[in-house]
Amino acid sequence: MIAPALVLHAVDLAIAVLVVEALALHALRARHGLPRRDIALIALAGLGLLTALRAALAGGPGFVVLAGLTLGGLAHALDLALRLRRARSAAQKR
């Protein structure tokens, strides 16, 4: 199924917003203390899912959908693992 152009443009807009948000967070990270790695993993997880969505809606090849889902899932899993490790480390210091 080929999605209407408006839906594809909405996904493209979401990708653009995600990239701008990641760049803004990177620029503000010194003030707010968010590590670059966290910003990158959050952005990669979203980008992977949005890429998979766009490919699926546009009737793209299945390997692109699979690659996007894999990227999103791996980035999310790594982000979660790092956050849990930091929380466990912080709890042990108390």
Mean pLDDT by groups of 10 residues along the chain of 94 residues: 83 97 88 86 97 95 97 97 92 84
Residues spanned by the domain of 21: 5-93
What's the CA gap between 20 and 89, in Å, rounded? 32
How high is the pLDDT of residue 2? 62
Q: Looking at the 3D structure of the chain, how many domains does it have? A: 1
Cβ partners under 8 Å of residue 63, min gap 6: none
Of the candidates 20, 17, 38, 42, the residue with the CA atom closest to the CA atom of residue 29 = 38
CA 91 to chain centre: 27
How high is the pLDDT of residue 63? 97
How high is the pLDDT of residue 45? 97
